[in-house]
Chains A and B, each alone.
Chain A
Amino acid sequence: KQEVTQIPAALSVPEGENLVLNCSFTDSAIYNLQWFRQDPGKGLTSLLLIQSSQREQTSGRLNASLDKSSGRSTLYIAASQPGDSATYLCAVRRTGNQFYFGTGTSLTVIP
């Protein structure tokens, strides 16, 4: 069974700071890894998807990396803004169609 862990569970930073969110998974036989953002009481917004053959993906101020052999992914957020405050979730897809989610990192960016 795939276990996905996200550390830290919560993070508070001042506006403008660069930050890194971590995701680790136990089984390296994955198809892809997807990072999501969830605002309180809302659904998930897809941020980045990294295929198993890729090392990283970038979108604007976001950069996600994947080290499949060590079972780790990081989400880097540059120049954080108060609007970035949300819970960030990573999910891995193994063989089959099931996605396994971590419990998320709750990010607060202080103006």
Chain B
Amino acid sequence: DAGVTQSPTHLIKTRGQQVTLRCSPKSGHDTVSWYQQALGQGPQFIFQYYEEEERQRGNFPDRFSGHQFPNYSSELNVNALLLGDSALYLCASSSDRGSNQPQHFGDGTRLSIL
């Protein structure tokens, strides 16, 4: 049973560029959340997708956008990259059956902005 998979594992971009990160949820999960984790910090919630719609959003600018596909996989897009966007981007999946379903995380994409 494959867990949450993310691609790519590492990415290097320059300021002003755009980036797309991808996530495939754990089998049986229909909800995908994205988090940004800066070095030495806890993950910060970016947004969550369910039924191909953004269901909730954290305190991130519109440069951060996403998409969920019919097979529940998801993309995170970041435009006009800033140096401060350098971080580990984590995808988490869960089932929407009830409020007490645990989140399962992928290994993340390490994004470095030069």
Question: Which residues of A approach B to under 8 Å, CB–CB?
Answer: 4, 31-32, 34, 36, 41-46, 49, 51, 89, 91, 93, 96-104
Instruction: Bits for B6-41, please: 1 = Cβ < 8 Å to A, else 0.
Output: 100000000000000000000000010101000011
Q: How many A-B residue pairs have CB under 8 A?
A: 63
Interface flag for B90 (CB, 8 Å): yes
Q: How far is the CA of A46 from the CA of B29 in the complex (A)?
A: 15
In the complex with contacts A49-B102, A51-B100, A98-B48, A44-B43 CB distance below 8 A: yes
User: Does A44 lie within 8 Å of B90, measured CB to CB?
Assistant: yes
Interface flag for B108 (CB, 8 Å): yes
Q: How far is the CA of A31 from the CA of B104 in the complex (A)?
A: 17
Q: Which residues of A contact B102 (CB under 8 A)?
A: 34, 46, 49
Interface of B is mostly: strand
Interface flag for B42 (CB, 8 Å): yes
In the complex with contacts A43-B105, A97-B48, A103-B100 CB distance below 8 A: no
Contact of B45 among A43, A44, A99, A104 (CB under 8 A): A99
User: Does A98 lie within 8 Å of B56, measured CB to CB?
Assistant: yes
Interface flag for B103 (CB, 8 Å): yes
Q: Which residues of A contact B48 (CB under 8 A)?
A: 97-98
User: Does B104 lie within 8 Å of A98, measured CB to CB?
Assistant: no
